[in-house]
A = this chain, B = another copy of it.
Amino acid sequence: MKDKSSYYNVIETLISLFTVDKGVIKIFLLRKKLDPYKGYWMLPGSILREDETLEENIKEVFETKIGLEDIEVKQSHLFGDLDRIVNNRVLAINYIGLVDFVTVDLKQDIEEIEYQWFNINQIPKAAFDHNNIILNAISDLKDVLVNSNSLKKLFPSDFTLREIQDVYEQILGYELDRRNFRKKFISLDLIEPTGMMNDGYSGRPAKLYRFKDKIKERDLF
């Protein structure tokens, strides 16, 4: 047992925010403006003050660094390596959030911040241990997305069945038979046609669907 060590630690929150844009799962990253790692990409987050709860901190990060409000998050993993931030012991608690791309388009307008949505298969070199944390979040994402209510957050309305199938193929890592997928998904009684069509793309236009108001929570796959 060492004697002079302190029991005070610095904790930062990090947010792994995902969306789906035309069937592709993407994560929100910020461009780091200062050294160290200037120019690298990173997860949004902030240092936890001793007088605020985790939830309060997360809310503030969403408002000031992401430009969104009222996004529900799920706690993921606590990272505590001694050397994850050079010369400082900073623990990081990562949260996973989901937001639909329409909401993103409408609300997100933090002018002074350089951000980008990255395809989860094309994550750039990130600051600190954020590449590792991102991979961990993507892995946890799979457990989140099999749930019908999570899916509804990503696709509240006006999606095609193909887009949902694309998401499942990404998180499962293999292809699904279109006929079987549709039969199964429609039989869950979670969605209804909006009556609109997805025009403007090549090929036959697809029906657009929305999630029903009250859906029963359920795991697919």
Contact = CB atoms under 8 A, between A and B. Distances in A.
A50 B89 contact: yes
Q: Is the interface of A mostly helix, strand, loop or mixed?
A: loop
B5 A8 contact: no
A157 B210 CA distance: 51
Given A75-B77, A77-B75, A91 B51 contact: no
Contacts of A52: 5, 82
Interface residues of A, number: 25
A125 interface: no
B81 A7 contact: no
A202 interface: no
A53 B54 CA distance: 21
Contacts of A81: 53
A166 to B, nearest CB: 24
**Pairs of residues from A and B, 6 with the lowest C-beta to C-beta distance, nearest first:** A8-B8, A54-B80, A5-B49, A5-B51, A6-B50, A50-B89
30 contacts: A2-B51, A5-B49, A5-B50, A5-B51, A6-B50, A7-B10, A7-B47, A7-B48, A7-B49, A7-B50, A8-B9, A8-B10, A8-B50, A9-B9, A9-B11, A9-B50, A11-B11, A11-B91, A48-B80, A50-B89, A51-B82, A51-B89, A53-B80, A53-B81, A53-B82, A54-B78, A54-B80, A75-B77, A75-B78, A78-B78
